[in-house]
Amino acid sequence: MNTLTVSNLKVWDSRTGNVMISNSSFEVKQGSCLAIVGESGSGKSLTCRSIMRLNKAGVRQSGDILLGEVNLSTLSANEMRKKRGKKLCMIVQNGMRAFDPSCAVGVHLQETLAWHFGWSRDEITARMRKAMESVLLKEPAAIMNSYPHQLSGGMLQRVMIALALVLEPDIVIADEPTTALDTISQFEVVEQFNQLRGKISCSMIFVSHDLGIVKRIADEVLVMKDGNVVEHGTTQDIFSAARHAYTRYLVSSKRALTEHFMKIMGGERDVYH
């Protein structure tokens, strides 16, 4: 059973006619994690924004995007707004962009949960406190009273994961969530994403250029190049038996970098085996 099915997605700039995604089709199985990989400009983030229907002005899209049996492409703007957060939750690369810099983090959390569930302030605070503690955020009250710039990137990512825990969406879309983090924070946040899947049994789309992280978190991998899907398979097949030359290039490049780093550090030659 698929949580999400994308069929014949085309995305283009209406002002220039430039086609950015030509004909993309894939599915996300119930409870699984699909990673989307590829170089910058390959269409990874654009695919995520298209699913959420959050593309910039002038960018048009066609095709069908089914969340269960609901075709998101046919929903009105107001109907789509109700799906975001409660059914589809997107966690972005830069946590600062997810919050209003002029308001304390708690204001955003209160507004989001009140919009979807109509809960009281006390109930929202209690639920968020419990969720934040579960992702190892200390002093939740202090964090909710803080402004985004007062928190680290890793802390903001955890706040967004905690919000997803409370929202319990059908699918979480994580768009390069570890790119702006240091190595230790990357590891911790990836572990939190794995736990998120276990706790609310959601499906996940995880966008990343880091194949080490992809191998750790994904069940399947979608490879994109120049707006096209060039390969789609299980994580094991992509890393050990890739069919497309571009996929083999990505995997071999990552392996070469890893081997070079481990050689310098005096460690194991290859972390892929």
pTM of the predicted protein model: 0.89
**Which tokens in the block code for residue 9?**
């997605």
Give the pLDDT mean for 128-152. Answer: 95
Give the pLDDT mean for 44-65. Answer: 95
Ranking 52-56, 90-94, 212-216 by mean pLDDT, the lowest is 90-94
CB 28 within 8 A of CB 68: no
CB 254 within 8 A of CB 212: yes
Pairwise pLDDT comparison (258 vs 109), residue with the higher score: 109
CB 36 within 8 A of CB 44: yes
Give the pLDDT mean for 62-75. Answer: 96
Give me the pLDDT at residue 179, please. Answer: 81
In CATH, the architecture of 2-265 is 3-Layer(aba) Sandwich (3.40)
Tokens 């059973």 map to which residue?
1
Burial 253-273 (b: 16+ CB within 10 A, else e): ebbeebeeeeeeeeeeeeeee
d(CA 147, CA 194): 27
